[in-house]
Amino acid sequence: MKTAGYPIISKQEVVSLIKDGDTVAFSGFTAAGAAKAVPAMLAEHARQEHAHGRSFRIRVITGASSGNYIDNDLAEANAISWRAPYQGGKNLRDQINSQEVEYVDMHLSHVPQTVSAGFFGKVNVAVVEATQITPDGRVYLSASIGASPTWLTCADKVIIEINHCHSPRLSELADIFIMPPPPRRHPINVYNPLAKIGWPFAQVDPKKVMGIVENNEPDQVMAFSQEDETSKKIANHVIEFLLNEKQSGRIPPQLFPLQAGVGNTANAVLAGLGRHPDIPPFYMYSEVFQDAMLELIDSGKLLGASATALTIVPEKLKQIEDNMDFYSKKIVLRPQEISNHPGIIRRLGVVAINTALEIDIYGNVNSSHVLGTHVMNGVGGSGEFARNSHLSIFMTPSIAKGGKISAVVPMVPHVDNNEHSVQVVVTEQGLADLRGLGPLERAEKIINTCAHPLYRPYLKEYVAKGSCGHICHDLTRCFELHRNFKEFGEMLPNC
């Protein structure tokens, strides 16, 4: 059988195209638009090969995390040896943290140019989910763009997963533009969040397409948990701050475009912004279009959004597909090197709101590595937004694990975003505006405003007794809270 002139290939043919040790680039940015059928075939193939004592492990690259088929199932089949640039599955996380899988955690806008420059070697096979492909090689992508346009140009061989579950009308949201390699780059003509500068399809050389695999499964996007009291308080502090900035004229009456990171807290902040009567209708220039944003569009609060993935539950995706005449004027999906492009973020004056696991008293942020050693997910797009935004906000609950962990610590044991890129930090306790403050002023503000009261005396004493130059630290104690947690299961065991 053939589709648009390309053969429909069997599992046997698929697995014969992908060899042990190959680098395989899959579509998907989060679970949105992720390849599904081929990873499942490869997991089964890996199990069979391993049962026969043969090695089968591949190097896996995607746009960002990639849902269960890759970060859980393929990992569970011990079929991944190397992974980039972000992940979000428990099985894979455990394998990375036990050194079974090598993991390259990277800024997401760098991924396409890193791969096309050959920094990661050859891409042997690309597996890309689409709603349609034409005989001349136009590929209409599904719920995410991510780095798929680059995979299609760089890979030696290509397999297309046609997902009949997604509407072909999703391509009405797409704006695909691949930057030429440096030094032949020109300004990118995105001067407002909804500007379109490219095409609704990606392109592939038809000769590289080995075949089509058909698929009929929705994206496995999970709903966020309900907003709790802590995330509501964080959201209220952020909203009050934005209103105050607006009132003082530091941001315009219609606000600057917002970016919101991933996670439950970020979703709660978006929902809170939507409900507040004094927040005017605004735009977003972000990375992931998440559930709360659809409600904001429906209520008229969100005028439009640029992203690279529609990370929304299947019912909400269907709502978009069924009302495309309306939503195609409100949502633009771009390749990740454009959605997260530092120059555009700076040009548009984006207000970036991201989430930390922990912050230190000087404003350095750890979003990725628990105790400095164990990866949670990765830096994701937080770095490019935080570093280039007009205003960079980081938020986190002040304590984790029932108070056994303080999210405000003397020194973070891993830095994703440093004090030079962080202007505002916020917990449910309060918001610390760090602009214009020197290190010791920052420490005082963060401890008194953001730290949980349980931990304030410890943190104040740490600063008071530290050895001071420009910054105060006690190098014998800067990780004492983390060491306590490792040894006693809580950061302040004697309290």
Residue ranges of the annotated binding site are 377, 381, 401
Region of 38-46, 182-190, 193-201, 284-292 interacting with ligand 0RQ (CB under 6 A): 284-292
Spatial contact of 420 and 335, defined as CB atoms under 8 Å apart: no
Distance CA 345, CA 146 (A): 17
Is residue 370 a contact residue for ligand 0RQ (CB under 6 A)? yes
**Number of residues counted as binding ligand 0RQ (CB under 6 A):** 27
- Which of 212, 262, 292, 345 is in the footprint of ligand 0RQ by CB under 6 A? 262
Distance CA 275, CA 290 (A): 16
- Which of 292, 405, 446, 463 is in the footprint of ligand 0RQ by CB under 6 A? 405
Closest to 382 in 3D by CA, of 400, 368, 362: 368
Residues 304-363 that bind ligand 0RQ (CB under 6 A): 354-355, 357-358
- Which of 67, 89, 211, 261 is in the footprint of ligand 0RQ by CB under 6 A? 261
- Which of 69, 120, 385, 458 is in the footprint of ligand 0RQ by CB under 6 A? 385
| Helix ranges, 350-409 (H) | 382-388
Greatest distance between any 2 Cα atoms in the chain? 75
> How do beta strands 358-360 and 408-409 pair?
parallel
Distance CA 115, CA 112 (A): 5
The minimum distance between CB 93 and ligand 0RQ, in angstroms, equals: 11
The minimum distance between CB 390 and ligand 0RQ, in angstroms, equals: 15
- Which of 101, 288, 294, 446 is in the footprint of ligand 0RQ by CB under 6 A? 288
Output 211 or 304, the one with its CB closest to ligand 0RQ.
304
Known catalytic residue: 287? yes
Distance CA 3, CA 134 (A): 9
The minimum distance between CB 146 and ligand 0RQ, in angstroms, equals: 12
Distance CA 258, CA 353 (A): 8
The minimum distance between CB 370 and ligand 0RQ, in angstroms, equals: 4
- Which of 4, 179, 400, 437 is in the footprint of ligand 0RQ by CB under 6 A? 400
CA atoms within 13 A on the CB side of 119: 12
Is residue 259 a contact residue for ligand 0RQ (CB under 6 A)? yes
SS3 assignment, position 387:
helix
Partner residues linked to 125 by β-bridges: 24, 157
Q: Please name the amino acid found at residue 485.
A: F
- Which of 243, 324, 376, 415 is in the footprint of ligand 0RQ by CB under 6 A? 376
Spatial contact of 446 and 378, defined as CB atoms under 8 Å apart: no
Output 130 or 353, the one with its CB closest to ligand 0RQ.
353
> For residue 290, what are its two tokens?
């998440």
Distances (CA, A) of 374 to 95, 258, 383, 413: 11, 30, 19, 11
Known binding-site positions for CoA: 377, 381, 401
- Which of 116, 171, 377, 388 is in the footprint of ligand 0RQ by CB under 6 A? 377
Is residue 65 a contact residue for ligand 0RQ (CB under 6 A)? no
Output 163 or 286, the one with its CB closest to ligand 0RQ.
286
Distance CA 307, CA 89 (A): 22
Closest to 338 in 3D by CA, of 367, 302, 309: 309
The minimum distance between CB 261 and ligand 0RQ, in angstroms, equals: 3
Catalytic-labelled residue, pool 49, 129, 287, 428: 287
> How do beta strands 365-366 and 358-360 pair?
antiparallel
The residues annotated with a catalytic role in the active site are: 287
Binding site for ligand 0RQ (CB under 6 A): 259, 261-265, 286-288, 354-355, 357-358, 367-368, 370, 376-377, 380-382, 385, 397, 400-401, 405, 407
